[in-house]
Structure 1
Amino acid sequence: MDLNTAADAHALTPLLNCLLREVAEPAAEHGEGTHRLRGSGRLLRVRGGRRPARPELRRADGWHPLSHSELVELTSGELRRYTGVSNDELPVDMADSRATVAALLAARAQAAPPRDPYLLSEQSLVMGHPHHPAPKARGGAPAASWLPYAPEAYARFPLVFLALREDQVAEEGGPSAATAIDSLADALDGPRPPAGYRLLPAHPWQLELVGARRAVREAFADGRLLRLGGSRLPAWPTASIRTLYVPDPAADLFVKFSLDVRITNDVRRLWRHDLLTLRRTDAAAEEGFAALRRTGSDAAWLADRGYRTAGFAFEELAVLVRDGLHAHVLPGATPLLAAALAEGEPGSPLARTADPAGWWRRYLRQVVPPVLELFARHGVVLEAHLQNTLVAFDASGMPVQALFRDAEGVKLLRDLDRPAAWQRLVYCLVVNHLMEIGGALAERHPDVSPFVWPAVREEFLRYDAARGLPETAELLAASSLPAKANLLLRWTRADGAAARYLPLPNPLRD
């Protein structure tokens, strides 16, 4: 398959998933894989199941195949008819996402993948979010500006270190966070911060994006901000792009930065309001996982210890520090990003298991109870979707531990009404996560397909019997599950945090 054909294939699938889920309905009477578009009534035919491909539009003279650009045009017309709203921004992002995939595929062909299985899993998501119209858009910038920092291109690069005058420092998180940030100075390939200054790590792309802004430019000019140099050892961008892993045993940290680039639904900045509530949500999650450990659970929380930034560029220059892996992963186990399992990375434990039914039971036992327990006993709603969940595997490839991350995405029951909190949990855990992993397992091992959803149902019932969860019966009897409508959300320019859900047939229903 040539590069353009491969790029089209990678970009078509998530856009088709959105189009078929949000603005179409099955029209099986016209043949397998046929759907009627709600805006115009036209017929669209696809091949494949969970990863639809090869779209064809029915015209007077027969079925006509669609390229990615033609599908973008079709989608835009359908959305204008269906919503009554125009949008000239999203089609550009869709085209940008496809161009990004082409650049990533070309770069990957010339780059060496990381040897570490965990890092490889974080850097494997070439298609990206399977239900987003433009999952790989990079703000329309030339590829040369972002490729050096792209996880999908197997990037690794030094952090940039700045020195921030002490009277300009804004930080929260206590000694643990401050020590973690300051410890990165040991990797400095240059002078340490002078007296009266504090270390401020930065993402090089972040500096390129905000360095010309007046507040930052003036701080460099008057000495409030100094450039020290780079790190001797590389940091590795993870699937979120703006979060980097520093695996050096002396540090073993994740560092998360602001990037003024729209990635999927949001501009990925460390927003002030999120930073100011970070310790509250992280502390609630830490308390819940500590209680879990006391019951014998191996589930782990990668704590967001705190942040440091400059008062004059609070969001733009913020850095958040998160626990690394070494202190949390079980001895001898190998952690992998759950999203990489769903994307179908060759050689993954999901693909090579000889006991898919047993593997799935073990997977559910690691992932589901911690999420339910945090909700039921501690009022914490984890954002347990594919990119915020790591699963560790033993030497035989069986799941032995789940690790969760990202306090920014955590919600607390005391801040939400309970039905809204439960809906968010069900979307993240069941629709975004288990539906994708279960689908990938059934695709690779077709014989296990009839077992996938009964096993999920059993796991919810098992937890309910042992611990009690009032929402279980309602979930298992519901006709539908909440599916996030990313295409309609972007088309109508809704706030990225204002999730809009559509009903999806519930496979858990008996």
Structure 2
Amino acid sequence: MDPFPPPDADAAAAPRDDVDEVTDRADAYAAAPLLNCLLREVAEPVEQPAAPSARRVYRLPGGRLLRVYGQRRPAEPEVHAEGGWRRVGHPELVKLVAEELVRHTGLSNPDLPTEMIDSRDAVAALLTARARVAPPHDPYLRSEQSLITGHPHHPAPKARGGGPVADWLPYAPEAHARFPLILLGVRSDTVVEDGDTSALDALGAAPPGYRLLPAHPWQLDLAAPALAPAFADGRLIRLGETPFETWPTAAIRTVYAPDRDLFLKFSLDVRITNDIRRLWRHDLLKLRRTDTAAREALAAVDGPAAWLSDTGYRTAAFAFEELAVLVRDGLRGHLLPGATPLLAAGLAEGFEGSPLDGAPDPAAWWEAYLAQVVPPALAAFGDHGVVLEAHLQNTLVAVDADGTPVQALFRDAEGVKLLPEVSRAAGWERLVYCLVVNHLAEIAAALAERTPGLDLWPAVRRELSRHDLPEAAALLTSPTLPGKTNLLLRWTGADGADARYRPLPNPLAG
């Protein structure tokens, strides 16, 4: 389900070419998450009519009025000026956001508007590329590679570091990319590894005195200046490519090799959403502890939920973060027989063959979804002190032949938090944001778009009420939920991991 379909040529006032169509759609895709951020973080509602088709009016920090069409993916922004409403295109919207943030924070930030424009231009490149290639046949890969909008509450979700399109497009999941990995040999006395990395040795053969290390082609290009001395003195040698192709997943730097049923996660020296996506040393050094805690917590849960374990990492001592590669469990050893895994973020975004589009009983489908996703996350927290990063991109939901959810699989030890390393209150706030605000609210909104009038939150209340967890009971009466402020985080230059929240109305409270 495309939230911004191509315009109807029959309804157009004048003939339009493909470039015009891509321009319009890219502007709409880029404006929606930026507007979501602006409206959530700094605007105040003025007129919020109940009709979904009505326009909603907000007051901005400088006093200007802004109105938009739609709720989940706001569109067609207009500002009130000289007694009337005037449409705002994407470049002007970026300028407006920057002006309002200066008023709101007292700070300037020349870099973020550039990222916003870069994100919009990346969307245009992705839309053009997708029109020329067929999506993957496998529904799992299709779900991973569906995210044209991306994070629905980030000001620049598709920015790729400002580099030329030719540098990143061959590796973009949204463009249905697939590519072999580069195989390197690392001199054995410089290898650093921890955990089970045996899957890497099966990718090829290294000469005596060397160990095999796969590399992401884009990262190898980015790190080329730093690695040149190691290639020159023989600490690092090139061994060709893998004989098979890998598919980049929604995370971009994590790839999946279906024939090997193997996930590999790489460093990528590019800012994507809030962070430079390196495998940072401090995260790798605590990997075994966090992964073991998450794996044991999910194994103890009553039901089919599973954890895709980050089994180990390998790198070179002279380029610890630049060349790090993390090995992650494949799917087949965890999936229920006959079940098809799908990325939760793909369900929210929409893709051909999504079970949301054909659910004969949406309310029953939603209850089945909640029964698979909610209990494992609450049990991991309440019984084991493990805070899963159970947001849309770290949750897979497996469905049976009828499209009914039958299993949840969680991933990414890097995002896991452990009690008491974080306080119980902070851990619960993070879980509520990831699971309820980022995840369940988005799936519920996507399902409600397909079934107008269906109230999905009573089912969430019932599911939460089944769990003997004081925080879950309190959540049902809390007036607010925590909404992460990605726009303000980026504007003020805060650390990407430094989550800050703004209270949002809690639909669970009735």
Query: Structure 1-normalised TM-score?
Result: 0.94
How far 1:329 sits from its partner (Å)?
Answer: 1.1
Match of 1:476 in 2: 476
Match of 1:182 in 2: 201
3-state DSSP class of the match of 1:498?
coil
Mapped to 1, the partners of 2:49 and 2:151 lie a distance apart of 29
1:224 aligns with 2:229: no
On the 8 A contact 2:60/2:66 being kept in 1, the answer is no
Residue number among 226, 246, 250 corresponding to 2:257 in the alignment: 246
Task: Encode CA deviations 1:170-201: one digit per residue, 9 max, x unaligned.
Answer: 0001xxx221111222xxxxxx2111110000
1:370 aligns with 2:376: yes
Residue number among 143, 155, 180 corresponding to 1:121 in the alignment: 143
Match of 1:5 in 2: 24
On the 8 A contact 1:38/1:82 being kept in 2, the answer is no
Amino acid corresponding to residue 476 of structure 2 in structure 1: L
Where in structure 2 are there 5+ consecutive unaligned residues?
A: 1-5, 7-20
On the 8 A contact 2:483/2:502 being kept in 1, the answer is yes
Give matches, 1:159-238, under 5 Å: 159-173=181-195, 177-185=196-204, 192-213=205-226, 216-238=227-249
On the 8 A contact 1:37/1:78 being kept in 2, the answer is no
Match of 1:486 in 2: 486
Match of 1:33 in 2: 55
Mapped to 2, the partners of 1:75 and 1:258 lie a distance apart of 32
How far 1:29 sits from its partner (Å)?
Answer: 7.9
Mapped to 1, the partners of 2:85 and 2:133 lie a distance apart of 39
Amino acid corresponding to residue 219 of structure 1 in structure 2: A
Cα RMSD for the two superposed structures: 1.2
How far 1:357 sits from its partner (Å)?
Answer: 0.5
How far 1:35 sits from its partner (Å)?
Answer: 3.2
Where in structure 1 are there 5+ consecutive unaligned residues?
A: 186-191
Residue number among 459, 466, 480 corresponding to 1:462 in the alignment: 466
Residue number among 422, 434, 451 corresponding to 2:428 in the alignment: 422
How far 1:57 sits from its partner (Å)?
Answer: 0.6
Q: Work out the number of aligned pairs and report it.
A: 488
Match of 1:65 in 2: 87
How far 1:30 sits from its partner (Å)?
Answer: 10
3-state DSSP class of the match of 1:414?
coil
**Identical aligned residues as a percent:** 66
Segment drifting more, 282-291 vs 341-350:
341-350
Mapped to 2, the partners of 1:264 and 1:310 lie a distance apart of 27
Match of 1:132 in 2: 154
Mapped to 1, the partners of 2:83 and 2:297 lie a distance apart of 61
On the 8 A contact 1:7/1:101 being kept in 2, the answer is yes
Amino acid corresponding to residue 92 of structure 1 in structure 2: T
3-state DSSP class of the match of 2:476?
helix
How far 1:61 sits from its partner (Å)?
Answer: 4.1
Match of 1:189 in 2: none
Match of 1:299 in 2: 305
On the 8 A contact 2:197/2:327 being kept in 1, the answer is no
Change over 3 Å in CA distance of 1:495–1:390 after alignment to 2: same
Change over 3 Å in CA distance of 1:227–1:210 after alignment to 2: same
On the 8 A contact 1:34/1:43 being kept in 2, the answer is no
Give matches, 1:440-451, under 5 Å: 440-448=446-454, 450=455
How far 1:350 sits from its partner (Å)?
Answer: 1.1
3-state DSSP class of the match of 1:424?
helix
Match of 1:107 in 2: 129
On the 8 A contact 1:123/1:239 being kept in 2, the answer is yes
Amino acid corresponding to residue 239 of structure 1 in structure 2: A
Give matches, 1:58-97, under 5 Å: 58-97=80-119
3-state DSSP class of the match of 1:419?
helix
Amino acid corresponding to residue 30 of structure 2 in structure 1: A
Mapped to 2, the partners of 1:222 and 1:287 lie a distance apart of 44
| Structure 1 ranges of 4+ moved more than 4 A | 29-32
Mapped to 1, the partners of 2:323 and 2:459 lie a distance apart of 46
Task: Encode CA deviations 1:369-416: one digit per residue, 9 max, x unaligned.
Answer: 000000011110000000000000000110000000000000001201
